[in-house]
Amino acid sequence: VRDLNTNPSLVNLGCESEIPSTIPSGCYDAVLCNVGIQYLQEPEAVLAEVNRILKPQTGFAVVSFSNRFFYDKALTGWIERGMRERSKLVVDYFRAAGGFQDDTIRVVGGGTGALSQLLSVGGLGGDPFVAVIATKR
């Protein structure tokens, strides 16, 4: 486990030994960040590192989130936005990170509509889910 707010690098991630190792550039087909982006203080730095380890042209990253999160841990900018605005924010994170094909960044999921957001707040509509997917250049 690593606090990516402290160190956004993926160097030595999952490495149990004391011998330094680096995840080679361009070696992963996909990276998934599931319900965690709202807690990162420097999401652009983390996504830039994700971009580095993805395979060129075919590697892709998926950032998924829902309307539920820990209010005491999420960033203020996340808390103040609705699902549609959060989706746009994640798209902007990918753009700021660089190296992702702008025309392939897409939002998937039905959680961005006004009705689904209103129903989820009242506990009637479940938990809206959204994923933002981006492909490496």
The answer to whether the beta carbons of residues 91 and 125 sit under 8 Å apart is no
DSSP letters spanning 97-115: H--B-GGG-EEESSTTSHH
pLDDT, one tens digit for every residue, the chain (137 residues)? 567 777 777 666 554 444 445 788 999 999 999 999 999 999 999 999 999 999 999 999 999 998 888 888 998 899 899 888 999 999 999 999 999 988 999 999 866 566 665 666 655 666 788 999 999 99
Distance of CA 3 to the CA centre of its chain: 15
Beta carbons within 10 angstroms of residue 31's beta carbon: 19
The pTM score is: 0.78
